[in-house]
Structure 1
Amino acid sequence: MSKLVNKNLITLKCVLFCFLSGVGCIFPYLPLHMLHVGLNRGEARLISAVAPCVAILGPAVLGCLIDKLSVGRGSTGGVQGTSGSGKLLRMVTAICLILSALFYTLLLAVPYTERHEARRPQVLFMCDADNTYVMQEVCKEDMLCNSWSGVKTGVLAVTSCEYGCADDNMTWVKQPFPTTTTTTMNPAFYSDNRNMSSNFTSFDEVDEDEYEIYPPHLCYDGQCLVYMAHSRRMRVPMSLEAPTPPADNSSGTDSWCTYRASSPSCSVPSERLPESSVMESECKPAVRCQVLDPYDEPDGVLADAECRLTIGDPAYTFTVYLIIRLLADIWPTAALALLGAACVIATRETSLGRGDVGRQLAFGTLGLAIFPPLAGLAAESMESPFLVPFVLHAVFMLIGALILIFDSHMPLSTPEWWWHTATGVLAMPMNTVRRYGAETAAIFAVVALLGVLCSGIDAYLPWTVIDMNGTMLHVGLTLTAGALPAVPALLWAEALVDYVGHSNVFISAFTFYCLRYTGLAYGTDYAWIIVCEILEVFTMSLVWVTAVLYFRHLVPRKYTTTGQALPVIAHFCIGRCIGAIVSGMVSLSEPLQSAREIYRALGIASLLAGAVYLALYHLLLAPRCAARPVPPPHHLLQGLNANGGSNGTYSPMRVYHEERSRKGHFRY
């Protein structure tokens, strides 16, 4: 038991437990919270894509800053400075946790907005020799007419024009159009040999040429449009003035907004009116037409006149949420990089054995498995459903910060030596950094690509769960399904990665991503999501510990924090941003079906990426990157001889070596 639990690392485990518990309590519910405050899915996708880009500032700036402040202030000749004792790393990490708790809690104060789906009221069109009238049903929600200042210019598409008599009450234009039995759906006109009790009729059985002798003329700015019976659609240009509201403000069926326009005017010959109407002295000749797609017509004069009920200010809500979210995402991302550096430093690898980074992460992953579903279950019984997840996040982050502030015995002093204890200080020269630059960039790109595939699932998975009639408890259980199998895997992660090799771990991750995407694409219920999340142990947990271990060996000691910031930037910033953009390219009308199509495409892409990486690594990179023994520096040779066991040669760690070195047989 003493081998599994190092008493010096208990507080570090507690910090990781609090950090991952806080992250698990809030991050799966952020996509749902954005919709809860009134943002639409397009705005939520924009925030999900932009926030990781800004979050790069956290690990990039703080990682470099801590490494720079630690240079020259670490241990020299057994004397440790402030940064050498790990106080700087502890304090900065604690500040990140506190700021994360603060900014995410501020999201609860974002003003609420509500936008109901637009209702498209009926639109009528009529014109006479003097005026043009466009009538729209009053929006029943707020009984207001769409208004504007001045004159609004656009077009109105009409069809099925017919003659009749207008009156001051607009009785005729409000009556329904006749239905026709013809298959061609040609417009009908009034005939002078038909008596109509309602002032209109249809003429399906009459020769349509007879009714095109006097077609309606709609004149606008000196130009006339002639409506013919064979026409299907006529775009009428017009300029509408501000509408006249109904006389009463009731919600009756006769409430209409009337838009007036001086043009177009209509010429209506008396020959085209019914005989009964011609005999009436009060008959006002007019033409009415059916209106086609008043809200969808390109350049339509009523294109933005739908009935909308809006509570609050959507633009203000979006702006405030975006700003707070951008500031909030910086701090947990930075804290992840700093805690990764803390694990590397605290579990420093010696010649007596390997470190146990995986064991620290395994203990923290327990919090990721326990608390997200509990937060979701509590949220379902609350009037304010997102209060519990946000409060739990703040509590866990503050507890972790307090441990970091008051525990001065946490083993975060700058290590003397990565692989054994020596009397002198080993500093890898800059030419070594440049030598491994290409390999660092290559692994950075691989981790970023894996981050894209990870975000392609996690960014909007809560929406998929809700679309499948799931609950917030079900959303939290998706994290539990992925975290529980990761606990035993992380306990022996270093030995597993050493045995399998980092390249094979990454190749396996691409393969399992293909399986996950395939399951999500063809799964029909929540059980499929859980099965796919169980596979996350191969696509996330082992990948992440492999990246931490790889950059631990690749980056020189004095750049430890920067080295641990690199995989965070690649996976959780760049990869998360691109993944949110790719998986967010779904149809708003059919989000679930469209998401499944994207899952199929990403599944194929992940399989191809794994095949390409497999070929490049085993056929090109591995044969060319074998480690070659080189003479060590003189002072280094003395240090090795002083510890006994030097054979006179020194081989710096190569990324793709298959040799046995003093640090053990690590296949990197």
Structure 2
Amino acid sequence: MKQLVNKNLITLKCVLFCFLSGVGCIFPFLPLHMLSVGLDKGEARLISAIAPCIALLGPAVLGPLIDKMSVGRGSTGGGTGPSGSGRLLRVITAACLILSAVFYTLLLSVPYTERHEARRPQVLFMCDEDSAYVMQEVCKEDMRCNRWSGEKSGVLAVTACEYGCADENMTWVRQPFTTTSTTTTLSPMYLNVANATTESPVTEEEEVKHSMPFEVNPPHFCYNGQCLVYMQHQARLRVPLSLIAPELPDDNETESVDSNDWCTYRTAGPSSCQVPPNRLAEVITDDQECRPAVRCQVLDPYDEPDGVLADAECRLVIGDPSYTFWTYLFIRILADIWPTAGLALLGTACVIATRETSLGRGDVGRQLAFGTLGLAIFPPLAGLAAQEMPDNPYLVPFILHAVFMVIGALILLFDSHMPLSTPEWWWHTATGVLAMPMNTVRRYGAETAAVFAVVALLGTLWSGIDAYLPWTVLELNGTITEMGLTLTAGALPAVPALWWAEALVDYIGHSNVFIMAFTIYGVRYTGLAYSADYSWVVVCEVLEVFTLSLVWVTAVLYFRHLVPRKYTATGQALPVIAHFCIGRCIGAIVSGIVSLERPLESARDVYRALGVVALLSAAVYLALYHLLLAPRCGAPAVSPPHHLLQASSIDGQLNAKGMGLPQIRIACL
């Protein structure tokens, strides 16, 4: 029992449990929460890519800062001896947890916005001898006209123009256009044969009758002293003009729109249309007061290149989408920094507290295994609570996150007996004799960079799945509770795997764990690419024990060996930066390249592509390691001192599996 439960590490296990429980309560629901406040998927993808990129500042700054502040104190973490409590490390880690609780809770205060699909109202054009007018149906969504400051220049494509008599209420302009030439009140400028019905065929005599006057007196549209001639054979005339929006009322409460809910935009410059007298006589009756005018149908007002109304569609917008986006992005960036930094510092705490020796294991995996229990228990409970509160579904997950983080911080602040101060020397034999000077470890900078790159690539593949997995679950008709269960599916198998993680890594070898992870990623991506329902997603998530849990503990152990003791916090920040910052950012960008019109199908295409990348990475890594690097690792780079010969058999076994000690040779890639 003494070997299984170390009383000195109970509080550290509790902190890890609270930390991973808090992360599990919020992480699977962040992509859904972004959509719930009104952001579109494009904005959510941008936030998902930017936030982890900037979040690397947390571990990148705090890791070296702790190492630097610990210099001269005799031990990493600010303790006063081998039994010190590491007060500096505890306080800074607690601060990270509290700040994480604060900033993620602030996301609940982001203002809501809502954008409805744009509606394209009808647009008409009218011109008389005094001016020209563009009329647009008022936006029914908010009963307002589109407005802009000053003049707005562009073109308006018109066709099927008619002569007639305008009135003060513009009723004639809004009447239906004629489809034949037989009318007593309206007369077309040219005969639209294509619109003639089969019931009223147009004879050649009628066509000549109505077309001849236009060949003699074609209509002119004049604007700013330049006139365009509308000829019979033209089906589209692009009229350049500048429009002035109607003024907003002084009270800013009621909209000034024309009768029957139309908005009238006047031209900024002088404009006019002259009606030939012979055409005017055809449309004027004896008892009618006539203001001679021309009206036209407008072609593609919102799609015409350089159109003056190109962005004047009706949109129902609640709130300020721009303000919501920037507020969410700013808070999310600040929020992501602190759990990322906290993960690096808790990794440092595990490495320091377990005090691994050359003839024994430090049980880092057992600390992480206990924390992973929280990751398996609470995400589905948070999802269930969210599902039962449709009015404010994400209130409970965010509160649970804050509660767990605060509890973990309080344990760190009040437990002064937590063994977070390192012994004088890291690697030692059973007799306590120094094995090798620390400067020997510094020779492996290239290997450290190579491991960093491998972990970053694995983080990219991890983020390619997890960044937008909640959207995939919902598109497969899953629920929020089932989204939380996906974390449970991956965390439950990880508990026994992490409990015996160091023995597994010793037996398999660091590099073989990474090769296996790349291979399993290929299987996971292939399964997701062809998944038709939620059950397949769960099966793919069970495999995360090989692609995340074992990979993470392997990275922690690997960097523990590669980095000198006085840079412990920096060394544990490196895998966090590689996997959960750089890799997460790249993965969010790559997996976010999907079509908005067919998101599920295009996401499957991305999964197939990333599956191929994973399998190719596994093949290249396998070939490089076993054909090139492994043979060079067979012989020790530095001969061990004479007093270590008694442990040479054990060290040789570790070295053969890529797990050798720093003084003999760190595992090659």
Q: TM-score, length-normalised on structure 2?
A: 0.87
Q: Distance in 2 between matches of 1:253 and 1:369?
A: 63
1:241 to 2:244 alignment: yes
Displacement of 1:585: 2.2
Q: Does 1:581 align with 2:566?
A: no
What does the per-residue CA deviation read over 1:577-624, in whole Å, with 9 as the maximum and x for residues that have no partner? 111122222233333333222222222222222222222222333234
Q: Unmatched 5+ residue regions in structure 2?
A: 197-201
Q: What is the SS of the residue equivalent to 2:405? A: helix
Cα distance in 2 between the residues matched to 1:273 and 1:656: 99
**1:420 aligned counterpart, secondary structure:** coil
State the distance in 1 between where 2:498 and 2:623 align.
28
Residues 1:329 and 2:336 are matched in the alignment: yes
Matched-pair contact (CA < 8 Å) for 2:638–2:665:
no
215-224 or 403-412: which moved more? 215-224
- Cα–Cα, structure 1 residues 436 and 51, in superposed 2: closer, same or farther, change >3 Å? same
Aligned partner letter, 1:91: V
Give the 3-state SS of the residue equivalent to 2:646 in structure 1.
coil
Instruction: Give 1:561 deviation, angstroms.
Output: 1.3
Q: Deviations over 1:508-564 (max 9, x none)?
A: 222222222222222222222222212211211111111111111111222111111
In structure 1, stretches of 5+ residues that fail to align are 180-189
Counterpart for residue 407 of structure 1: 415
User: SS state of the match for residue 606, structure 2?
Assistant: helix
Q: Deviations for 1:59-78, whole angstroms, at most 9, x for unmatched residues? A: 111111111222332259xx
- 1:460 matched to 2:480? The reply is no
Aligned length in residues: 645
1:300 paired with 2:307, answer yes
**3-state SS of the aligned residue for 2:473?**
helix
Name 1:594's counterpart in structure 2: 602
Structure 2 distance, partners of 1:464, 1:380, is 17
User: 1:464-496 CA deviation, whole Å, 9 max, x = no partner?
Assistant: 222333322122112111111212222222222
Partners of 2:147 and 2:264 in 1: how far apart? 11
Quote the residue 2:505 is aligned against: 497
Q: Which AA in structure 2 matches 1:645? A: Q
DSSP-derived class of the 1:34 partner: helix
Structure 2 distance, partners of 1:652, 1:413, is 30
Q: 2:264 aligns with which of 258, 263, 276?
A: 258
Deviation track 1:224-273 (CA, whole Å, cap 9, x = no partner) reads: 33444554543321111122789x96999921011111455334434456
Native 8 Å contact 2:164 2:294 kept in 1: yes
Describe the superposition over 1:430-483 as per-residue Cα deviations: whole angstroms up to 9, x where unpaired: 4641x2111111111111111111111111221222233332212211211111
The 1-side partners of 2:660 and 2:478 are apart by 51
* Secondary structure, aligned partner of 1:577: helix
Q: CA deviation at 1:154?
A: 1.4
Letter aligned with residue 361 of structure 2:
R
Q: Could you say what secondary structure the match of 2:127 adopts? A: strand
Equivalent in the alignment of 1:3: 3
Task: Look up the match of 2:124.
Answer: 124
Distance 1:69 1:426 in 2: 26
Q: Distance in 2 between matches of 1:418 and 1:273?
A: 104
Distance 1:20 1:646, change over 3 A: closer
1-structure distance, mates of 2:59, 2:287: 85
Aligned-residue offset at 1:279? 6.8
What amino acid maps onto 2:94 in structure 1? A
Q: Which amino acid aligns with 1:255?
A: D
Structure 2 counterpart of 1:184 = none
2:149 partner SS:
coil
Aligned to 2:55: 55
Asked whether the equivalents of residues 196 and 274 of structure 1 are also in contact (C-alpha less than 8 Å), the reply is: no
CA distance, structure 1, for counterparts of residue 359 and residue 272 of structure 2: 97
Match in the other structure for 2:91? 91
Query: What SS does structure 2 have at the residue aligned with 1:604?
Result: helix
What is the one-letter code of the residue matched to 1:31?
Answer: P
- Cα distance in structure 2, aligned partners of 1:551 and 1:325: 29
CA deviation digits over 1:290-318, x for unaligned, max 9? 22332233332222322233333333322
Please identify, of 378-387 and 248-257, the stretch whose mean Cα deviation from structure 2 is larger: 248-257
- Tell me which amino acid in the other structure corresponds to 1:576: R
Taking the TM superposition and a 5 Å limit, the aligned residue runs for 1:553-632 are 553-631=561-639
Moved more, 96-105 or 222-231: 222-231
- Identity among equivalent positions (%) equals 72
Of 279, 303, 327, 1:320 maps to: 327
**Relative to structure 1, is the Cα distance of residues 80 and 401 closer, same or farther in structure 2, using a 3 angstrom cutoff?**
same
Residue 366 of structure 1 pairs with residue 369 of structure 2: no
TM-score, with length taken from structure 1 = 0.87
CA contact (8 A) 1:37 1:112 kept: yes
User: C-alpha separation between the residues in 1 aligned to 2:617 and 2:575?
Assistant: 19
Contact 1:657 1:667 in 2 (8 A): yes
Deviation at 1:32, TM superposition (A): 1.6
1:336-388 Cα offsets, whole Å, 9 max, x none, are: 01111111122222244222222211111111111011011111222321110
Letter in 1 for 2:105: T
CA distance in 2, matches of 1:353, 1:81: 22
The answer to whether the 8 A contact 1:144-1:245 is kept is: no
Q: Greater shift after overlay, 94-103 or 157-166?
A: 157-166
2:158/2:296 contact within 8 Å kept = yes
Q: How does 1:523-562 map to 2 (within 5 A)?
A: 523-562=531-570
Inter-partner Cα distance in structure 1 for 2:597 and 2:36: 19
3-state SS in 1 of match to 2:502: helix
**Distance of 2:154 and 2:449 partners within structure 1:** 55
